[in-house]
Structure 1
């Protein structure tokens, strides 16, 4: 089975393990856009916009046809696919790549995250952690890091990054429900460093530290977030986080709260998560 890997440097891996990449950047860009919309028709106009933006040359359509021709020739010359298997087909008003979902890492990633989300909703937390782990293992670096990206590819890269954050939130939430607070602290410290404005990650770090009996560190983590928000945005932490600080200080009784989570479909959509009892 040929594999198309886009989560990281773009590469095409043949059944025998050989790896290929078109030598022409715009051929790579054309294939990458088609693969992000696998089994869908991508119009020629959309491809032209991706390749040249708002100022395409007069020869854009002819040049696009040349790029498609070179892509097809590569698959034949390198024997990446069986002779009788069409891959890149012309479908008015544009082109389509015909692949199985398991052949494109983006499709596998999206499926695993969706399954993990469903498992979390059904309180199958071990399964959710396992599937998210498999999904995140597909990340070999920034998506399409070796391909020039126009407006359309940039939008899809942003979508993938948001879905990666959603996957991380699902894993943290599932591990929290499994009472793995102490084990999640190193991961959460990295996440708040990587995503300093994500209050959900900060809230889970504070909760994990408090649950592990490290109240002073939890309070320091809150102060770190407060400083970041003040310096970067001129804002205070959310009301939920301010209440969490008071609970750490022992000024308020334990309550039920819920982190922001992915809008409409992340951990928070599963219902409120109860704060641990801090000692």
Structure 2
């Protein structure tokens, strides 16, 4: 059985979708997936499903949802609900644990690939790191938990996964720059800037990629846009490291050692 959280939650058995369709069952399963192999208390589940204000019948309803999820997983895997209760979705005191092996869900594999890529970059194996990050990012199918209503806990869990995705994208751009694949770095950085208009690092990555591609004027325009947005909307200027990069790029004969260290060795 395969469980996926890097996008809409999805449970599959031999390619067949066995994800519960009822909204509250799906929400319960989503929180159990988000905290797989860790106990999720009944109060936490009740708070998530009923926004902190569960009705008197909520505990009974939750038990019904857990039973329905067990039946769906049993039907999908060709086992019994009893077997699922004993080995997969188990009761643990006043809570439940969804037990998954590492190979059964996508999150551990994604995290392992990103760690491998970071290690490869430290070893100056930028080309292999780039490919490894591409494999990791290809596992994403959209926004985490986008097919589930979010309570407070799933909102946090989705944010955690989105941050992990953003960090992996940033590392891949750094790897592309080290590989001198500047046009690809520009394309991926443009997408990140559009999604994260106040994120300085993705703007500096785009500046570096553009400059290295011989597009100094466009790189400087990216800085001006960021500066204007931050000062007008947030009341703060870009950080010293960003302004230093901008100042170096303004020079007709910039410090190539600085630009090389910043991953923006010019092709001019």
State the TM-score, normalized to the length of structure 2.
0.90
Q: Which runs of 5 or more structure 2 residues have no equivalent in the other structure?
A: none
C-alpha separation in 1, matches of 2:215 and 2:267: 9
Q: Count residues with an aligned counterpart.
A: 263
Q: Which runs of 4+ in 1 moved over 3 A?
A: 81-85, 251-258, 272-275
- Please tell me whether residue 6 in structure 1 is matched to residue 1 in structure 2: no
> Residues 247-267 of structure 1: CA distance to partner in whole angstroms, max 9, x if unpaired?
122176446489xxxxxxxxx
Pairing 1:121-132 to 2, within 5 Å after superposition: 121-132=122-133
Distance 1:171 1:50, change over 3 A: same
More helix by share: 2
C-alpha separation in 2, matches of 1:201 and 1:100: 35
- Please tell me whether residue 37 in structure 1 is matched to residue 35 in structure 2: yes
Q: Pick from 51, 75, 79 the counterpart of residue 76 of structure 2.
A: 79
2:183 alignment counterpart: 182
Distance 1:163 1:205, change over 3 A: same
Q: Which runs of 5 or more structure 1 residues have no equivalent in the other structure?
A: 259-271
Tell me by how many angstroms 1:277 deviates: 4.3
C-alpha separation in 2, matches of 1:134 and 1:253: 35
State the TM-score, normalized to the length of structure 1.
0.86
Larger CA deviation: 144-153 vs 47-56 = 47-56
1:54 alignment counterpart: 52
- Given that 2:208 and 2:262 are in contact with CA atoms closer than 8 Å, whether structure 1 keeps it comes out as no
1:276 alignment counterpart: 265
- 1:172 is paired with a residue whose SS is helix
> Residues 37-80 of structure 1: CA distance to partner in whole angstroms, max 9, x if unpaired?
1111111121112112321112222221111111111222x232
Pairing 1:1-279 to 2, within 5 Å after superposition: 2-15=1-14, 17-76=15-74, 78-83=75-80, 86-250=87-251, 253-254=255-256, 256=258, 273=262, 275-277=264-266, 279=268
Larger CA deviation: 167-176 vs 53-62 = 53-62
Distance 1:13 1:73, change over 3 A: same
C-alpha separation in 1, matches of 2:177 and 2:184: 10
Distance 1:184 1:74, change over 3 A: same
- Given that 1:38 and 1:98 are in contact with CA atoms closer than 8 Å, whether structure 2 keeps it comes out as yes
> Residues 163-213 of structure 1: CA distance to partner in whole angstroms, max 9, x if unpaired?
011001110111111122233112212221111111111111111111122
> Residues 105-163 of structure 1: CA distance to partner in whole angstroms, max 9, x if unpaired?
22222222222222222322223212211221121111111111111111110000100
Tell me by how many angstroms 1:21 deviates: 2.4
C-alpha separation in 2, matches of 1:215 and 1:74: 57
C-alpha separation in 2, matches of 1:28 and 1:81: 20
Distance 1:277 1:257, change over 3 A: closer
C-alpha separation in 2, matches of 1:200 and 1:54: 37
